[in-house]
Amino acid sequence: MTIKTAKIALTALWGVSAIPLLLVLVLRQVNGFYGDQAQAAWSWAAQFVFPNLTLIGGAWSVAGSPEDDKPLGSAIVFWGAMIVSAFYIVILYIVLGAQASGSMRASLEQSGLFLGLIQALVVGWMGKFFIEAKR
């Protein structure tokens, strides 16, 4: 697997997962699902979804280099980033479901306790992957 293919795979994972998630948030906002807690809902998204997307976008915004066509140096870093990302995305969807089936305030506020920790792990692993790809 080349570095470029690995980057595309990671980007696809995040793109395919984040678009429906954001779409649900927009539709909920339009339907008044969040009531007077819309700001809290979007703060949640800004805090736990957008940083990862920004990191991927930032990596792609740098011009492509000939190294992209080289084979992947460390498969562990790539697969680690994929698995941690997938795990994190599943948790994001669980929280999205909890907003509807439980107390919204609790789900928004309390999810921050664990999402922050997992997100740090995800961003760290993804950052390592993108930096290693540039070497």
Partner 1 sequence: MRTLTLVLLMVLCAPAIPVRNAVAQEQQPALAELQRLDRALAKICEARKDRLDDRERDMWKRRRELVDSLDERQRDALKRTSPLNKDCLRLIASLAEPSRPSYRPPGQGSQSGYSWRRQGYQYGGGGGGSPRARMAPPSPETPMAPQAAPQAPEARTAPPSSPQTTIDSPAPPQARIAPQPAPPPTSAPGPVSNDRPLKDLFPWPPPTPSAQRTLSPDVNPDSPPAETVGEVARRLERILREARFDSFGYYRVPGGFALVTRIENLDGTTGEPFAGAARWASQKVYAGLSFSSIFAITRSAGYYRVFVFLLTDDPKEPQPIDPEKTFEIARTWANEGSPSLPAEVKALPIGPNHILVVMVYEFEKFEGGETNHFQPSRWPLDQHLSSLGAELKPPQ
Instruction: List contacts with partner 1 (CB under 8 A).
Output: 20, 24, 27-28, 30-31, 33, 35-37, 93-94, 96-107
The smaller minimum CB distance to partner 1, of residues 1 and 16, is found at 16
Q: Contact at 8 Å (CB) between 25 and 42?
A: yes
Q: 16 vs 100, which CB is nearer to partner 1?
A: 100
Query: CB 32 → partner 1: shortest distance, Å?
Result: 8
* Nearest CB to partner 1, comparing residues 64 and 97: 97
Residue 60: CB partners within 8 Å, gap ≥ 6? 7, 11
- Least distance (Å) from partner 1 to the CB of residue 88? 15
Q: What is the closest distance, in whole angstroms, from the C-beta atom of residue 64 to partner 1 in the complex?
A: 36
Greatest Cα-to-Cα distance within the chain, rounded to the nearest angstrom? 51
Residue 58 or 102 with smaller CB distance to partner 1: 102
- Closest separation between CB of residue 41 and partner 1, Å? 12
